[in-house]
C-alpha cells in the first residue's frame, strides 16, 4: 500500500485509517522511528505485553562486548 502524506508545520503526519487497520494499530500506539539510508521507518511497538519480545523484534544491530568497549574508547579519545 502506497500513499502520499503531508507533514504539517509541527512535523506531524497522520497515518491513514486503512493503513492503521491493516497493521492493527491501536489508539495511542507507540512507534519506533528509525532513520535508515535517507528513509524514515516507523515500527509499531507493543511493550505492554512482552517488552523483551518487542525489543527483540526491533531488529536492532547487536554488538559484542569487545565492539562496545572499542566504541566507548574511540568516543573517549575524540573529546
Dig out the grid coordinates for 49 from the structure.
505485553
Per residue in 42-75, pLDDT (tens digit) is 988 766 567 777 777 777 777 888 888 888 888 8
Domain limits of the chain?
A: 17-78
How far apart are alpha carbons 16 and 49 in whole angstroms? 25
pTM exceeds cut of 0.85: no
Helix (H) or strand (E) holding 30: strand 30-36
Amino acid at each position: 500500500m502506497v500513499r502520499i502524506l503531508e507533514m504539517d508545520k509541527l512535523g506531524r503526519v497522520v497515518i491513514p485509517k486503512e493503513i492503521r487497520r491493516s497493521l492493527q494499530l491501536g489508539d495511542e500506539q507507540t512507534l519506533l522511528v528509525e532513520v535508515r539510508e535517507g528513509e524514515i521507518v516507523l515500527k509499531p511497538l507493543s511493550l505492554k505485553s512482552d517488552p523483551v519480545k518487542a525489543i527483540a523484534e526491533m531488529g536492532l544491530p547487536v554488538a559484542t562486548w569487545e565492539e562496545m568497549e572499542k566504541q566507548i574508547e574511540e568516543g573517549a579519545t575524540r573529546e
